[in-house]
Amino acid sequence: MRWILGGLALFAAIAATAAPPIPETVVQVQPKLVKVYGAGGLRGLEAYQSGFLISADGLVLTAWSYVLDSDSVTVTLNDGRKFEARLLGADPRLEVAVLKIEAAGLPYFDLRQAVDAEAGTRVLALSNLFGVAMGNEPASVQRGTISVKTRLEARRGVYEIPYDGPVYVLDAVTNNPGAAGGALVTRRGELVAMLGKELRNALNSTWLNYAVPIDQLRGTVEQIRAGKFVVRKSEEGAKKPARPLTLGMLGIVLVPDVVERTPPYVDAVAPNSPAAKAGVQPDDLVVLVGDRFISSCKALAGELQYVDFEDQLRLTVLRGQQMKEFVLQVSPKDGK
Amino acid sequence: MVRALTFAFCILDFAFCTLVLAADVDPAVLRAESERIAVMEKARPPVLAIFSPAGAGGGAGVVISADGYALTNFHVAYPCGSFMKCGMPDGRVYDAVIVGIDPTGDVALVKLFGRDDFPFAEMADSDLAKVGDAVFAMGNPFLLATDFRPTVTYGILSGVHRYQFPAGTLLEYTDCLQTDASINPGNSGGPLFDAQGRLIGINGRASFEKRGRVSVGVGYAISINQIKNFLGHLRSGRIVDHATLGATAGFDENRRVVVTDILEHSDAFRRGLRYGDQIVSFAGRPIETPNGFKNVLGIFPKGWRVALSFRREGKRFDVLVRLAGVHTESDLLEKLARGGQRPPMPLPKPKPKPGEKPESRKPKAPDEDIPVPAPPDEGGPLRPGAPKPAMPEIVKKHFEEKRGYANYYFNRLNRDRVFKAWAARGDFAPLDKPWVLTGPLDGGGKYRFEIAPQQILLTLPKEQISWPVTDELGSSLAPPDSGGLFAALHLWRRLAVLGPERFGEVYYVGTAPFPGCDGPADVLVGLHGGVECRFSFDPKTGLLAGLEMFPDENADPCEVYFADYRDAGGRQFPHRIEVRYGSETFATFRVETVEFAK
């Protein structure tokens, strides 16, 4: 009898490996997708991209873009409701950001239940590519297969992106405006990866359709929820010291702050300055001050106002594909 | 015994599982593949490769009836001129003539010659299509099919009821299907089939950007349900116009869709719609976004009457609105003539309509679309200055040039067809003397209409009204509050007796739903005496179901509904005539006796 049951179970398991029809999976997954809009992108264009909910109370996972750190980021849910969104934190090395909207009871992907995939896994890519969907119009769905799981590091200096970890390369054309931050799911609707940004091979000008596996992002998301990589909110009301640090004291010259949110790249380091002594170099991108995520030149200048000039400064930069942490100390006599 | 059976079962089960697990390809996959191949084989025969007479590749198309009518995009057909050549997958080439065009919706109807048994595609119901449904496109991307066997691309529906901004005011794709099946230049005008091989759309646009004009997995097809609404209009040989409500909609602060602008002379205004009213549903579809509103509007031809529900201060209103045209006739013709102007790349941001809030505008995607086509030029598309290919004899027989028409031949054809079907139920041509109708009045007593060529006499118990026929029928609308019943009756008789040739100018409009008709009614429009009269004929019986007399384009018509057709001297004659004006019923006349003076 055991054998019969076992045999039946095996038979059933084989028969049940078929995934549900795509429209069924789509209906289950689309409610978790959101449309992200940030104002003040390049040339005044409205920047748009995709994202998906990762908590019932409104955490949104999306691709990191400098337009996300703004007062006018909005997130539109699948049912059309619009929310003001706040950048909670970001990790520019992974090109991932977490937004927060004030909501409750939302459908979401539980990152802990994301699955791994491999070459040959049939997937669906959901995103708001080309901004086709507005309001309560649902995200677009594309059908594809994972061509390969590989590392981007093999293309160091070739792809204009600091991320060098594993990616899924897809045969569906997901590398389109607005698709970044979308969700890659299996035919059963299980979350696999986040759709990547528009990425071009600098050598042969081909565009890569790739997605970042969730297991690469989980750690950072946990850190962001725990307070690291987090953007300072003005409401936090921390006290500013009487004599705070300045970039001049540190000997750091940033690139000219020409657009509303210029990425904080180091342009020059004054010789013999605290920054030079610590090892900061031109072309480094400032990412963290302490555990705080720094999204722009203005943000860096603002964050330094909370650091007393006599205190040590923990500065984390992105150099190439590496995150490097430095400890800077402005000696007391320099501050006078 | 049981042990033996159990053992046998286990062996079989094990063998099956091993077979499945060890097979190179799951049998279910192989089965799905052969089903797919069979469906595509069956769907292929009606697919066309359309090219201009000079031989330049145009795009694709699909035959929809055995006598050779076929659909394609306006932007594929128009540059070919009035006639084109169509290659079919069996290798044969057929001459085809343009029938009707819809530049705003980017659809064209052509007719092939040479057979009366063309393979044709079966139309599906595109409203049943769901995101994720498998679909396939057939066409001639990159003009690869030199043998006319179409290229097939396969994918899923990525979105439904999508909106794509127009290029100027043409090529607006409302309520369209979005697919990730490759749609490339050359696929335009070709069919999008569902998993059963039925026609659900006509491919025509795609989102292009950094890679130039090659598919990036985002293609758009005009839904077949929209095309069904326009099919009668396309058969009319006219240059068809889309609809406007005479009002625009946008979001208010509470994200409700409200009227942001309204023309006072629009039918919507006369039916009670005002600035700020919330639009609840339109043509039966709940409206939740301004795009949703535009989507519904875009699938109807000008002139259709559509249900509209709106709310003001908690009160709900349900009305029927007449849709006006987006363009004036000269506007549309001018746009076509100017078609040679290609929009700069990327497309300029569409101008927001007055009152349209930023949320209802699309974010500026660097979207490059198929440019507005150049008008057919003298030298043929490829070799300017070269002699234009001569129109084939068969095409000449089916083509008549007339301003405002793509092909007047088909208008005359349908106009005469409709009139003949009506005359077959009762030939009124000989009855050129007065018609006399009598019947009871609600309050007691009788009425008597004497409808004569030069006047109408209405005799009531207490009075007699005489209305002379003048050259300006719209100048004396009588009886009062009827909207011009006398003029309407006069024109009814005039068409019945004189027929479309002698009535004045009578043209075929297309088809539109009409109360009391099972299926869209055939519509003729007659112009005489300074007014326009719209005649709607029941498609099943051929009888005149009703007419609407418009003394002015911006006024309510006098509506006359004819029912209860019975024999009167060997002819079918309506014995119930209901007259409506504005939102009121003016009168309902039951006809007891009908006499035709000798």
| Structural domain span for residue A251 | 234-335
CATH entry, B44-237+329-346+367-375, from 2.40.10.120, 3.40.50.300, 2.30.300.10, 3.40.50.1370: 2.40.10.120
pLDDT tens digits, one per residue of B389-414: 889 999 999 999 999 899 999 999 99
Spell out the per-residue pLDDT of chain A, length 336, in tens: 676 676 666 666 555 567 899 999 999 999 999 999 986 555 545 689 999 999 999 999 999 987 787 777 999 999 999 999 999 999 888 889 999 999 999 999 999 999 999 999 999 999 999 999 988 999 999 999 999 999 876 555 566 677 878 999 999 999 999 999 999 999 999 999 999 988 887 777 888 899 999 999 999 999 998 888 888 877 677 888 889 989 999 999 999 987 767 889 999 999 999 999 999 999 999 999 988 899 888 889 989 999 988 889 999 998 877 788 999 988 765 544
**Same domain membership, residue A222 and residue A83:** yes
Average model confidence (pLDDT) for chain B?
Answer: 88
Statement: residue B548 has pLDDT above 90: yes
pLDDT of A41: 53
Tell me the pLDDT tens digit for each residue of B468-502: 999 999 888 989 999 999 999 999 999 999 999 99
Would you give the distance in Å from CA B441 to the centre of its chain? 41
Does A22 share its domain with A111?
A: yes
Beta bridge partners of B162: B176
Cross-chain Cβ contact B218/A45 below 8 Å: no
Tell whether the model's pLDDT for residue B360 goes beyond 70.
no
Residue of B135, B175, B176, B216 to mutate for A, most A C-beta atoms under 10 A: B216
pLDDT band at residue B367, thresholds of 50, 70 and 90?
Answer: very low
pLDDT score at A126: 98
**Per the CB < 8 Å rule, is B134 touching A22?**
yes
pLDDT band at B57 (very low <50, low <70, confident <90, very high): low
What's the gap in Å between the CA of B285 and the closest CA on chain A? 14
* Listed residue (A210, A184, A182) closest to A198, CA to CA: A210
Tokens of A318: 């992105």
Residue among B155, B207, B360 whose CB faces A143 most closely: B155
Whether residue A148 sits in one domain with residue A26: yes
Q: Does residue A97 share a domain with residue A215?
A: yes
CB contact under 8 A, A130 and B209: yes
Name the residue facing A142 among B10, B180, B207 (closest C-beta): B180
Do residues B74 and B202 lie in contact, with contact meaning Cβ atoms separated by under 8 Å?
no
Q: What beta strand segments (E) does B11-67 contain? A: 47-51, 57-63
Mark yes or no for CB contact B162/A132 under 8 Å: yes
The catalytic residues of B are: 75, 106, 188
CATH no. of B414-596: 2.50.20
* Closest by Cα among A323, A141, A169 to B181: A141
Instruction: Examine the domain organization and report whether A254 and A197 are in the same domain.
Output: no
ipTM, interface predicted TM-score of the complex:
0.83
Do A148 and A44 fall within a single domain? yes
Chain A residues near residue B211 by CB distance under 8 angstroms: 207
Contact yes or no for B506/B534 (Cβ under 8 A): no
Most confidently modeled range among A53-62, A268-277, B292-301, B321-330: A53-62
Residues in A touching B162 (Cβ below 8 Å): 132-133, 137
Same domain, A191 and A314: no
Name the residue among A22, A26, A177 with its Cβ closest to that of B209. A177
Interface with A, mutate which of B25, B128, B131 (most A CBs under 10 A): B131
Q: Give the contacts of B15 (CB within 8 A, at least 6 positions apart).
A: none
CA distance A303 to A293: 9
The structural domains of chain B, with segments of one domain joined by +, span: 2-31, 44-237+329-346+367-375, 243-325, 414-596
DSSP character string of B504-540: SEEEEEEEE--TT-SSPEEEEEEEETTEEEEEEE-TT
Domain closes at, from A226, A246, A280: A226
Distance from the Cα of B274 to chain A's closest Cα (Å) equals: 24
Report CA A325 to chain centroid distance, whole Å. 20
Say which of A7, A137, A175 has its CB closest to residue B291: A137
Question: CATH code at A45?
Answer: 2.40.10.120
User: Rounded to an integer, what is the distance from CA B574 to the centroid of its chain?
Assistant: 29
The pTM assigned to this predicted structure is 0.86
Identify the three-state secondary structure at position A277. Answer: helix
Tokens standing for B342? 């290609």
The residue from A226, A260, A278 where one domain ends is A226
Distance from the Cα of A23 to chain B's closest Cα (Å) equals: 4
CB < 8 Å to B367, chain A: 130
CA distance B407 to B398: 8
- Whether residues A257 and A313 fall in one domain: yes
Q: Do A26 and B216 touch (CB under 8 A)?
A: no
Q: Are residues A77 and A162 in the same domain?
A: yes
DSSP letters for B272-292: T--TTPEEEEETTEE--SHHH
CA distance B437 to B492: 14
**Interface contact B156-A142, CB threshold 8 A:** yes
More confident residue, B359 or B2: B2
Of residues A10, A173, A176, nearest to B13 (C-beta): A10
Q: Which of A7-21, A300-314, B73-87, B160-174 has the lowest mean pLDDT?
A: A7-21
Query: By three-state DSSP, how is residue B459 classified?
Result: strand
User: Is the pLDDT assigned to residue B529 strictly greater than 50?
Assistant: yes
pLDDT score of B172:
84
Judge: B209–A14 Cβ closer than 8 Å, yes or no.
no
Domain B243-325 in CATH 3.40.50.300? The answer is: no
Chain B residues whose CB is inside 8 A of the A140 CB are: 158-159, 178, 218
User: Which one-letter amino acid corresponds to residue B518?
Assistant: D
Number of domains in chain A: 2
B46: closest CA of chain A, how far (Å): 27
Interface with B, mutate which of A17, A134, A186, A188 (most B CBs under 10 A): A134
**pLDDT tier at B371 (50, 70, 90 boundaries)?**
very low
Q: Do A138 and B159 touch (CB under 8 A)?
A: yes
- Is B56 a residue whose pLDDT tops 70? no
Domain final residue, candidates A168, A200, A226: A226
Residue of B nearest to A205 (CA): B211
* Residue A38 to residue A60: CA distance in whole angstroms: 14
pLDDT at position A18: 72
pLDDT band for position B435 (cuts 50, 70, 90): very high
Q: What is the pLDDT of residue B496?
A: 95
Element housing B331 (H / E): helix B329-337
Q: Which of A46, A130, A142 has its CB closest to that of B367?
A: A130
Beta pairing partners, B325: B243
How many Å apart are CA B529 and CA A232, to the nearest integer? Answer: 77
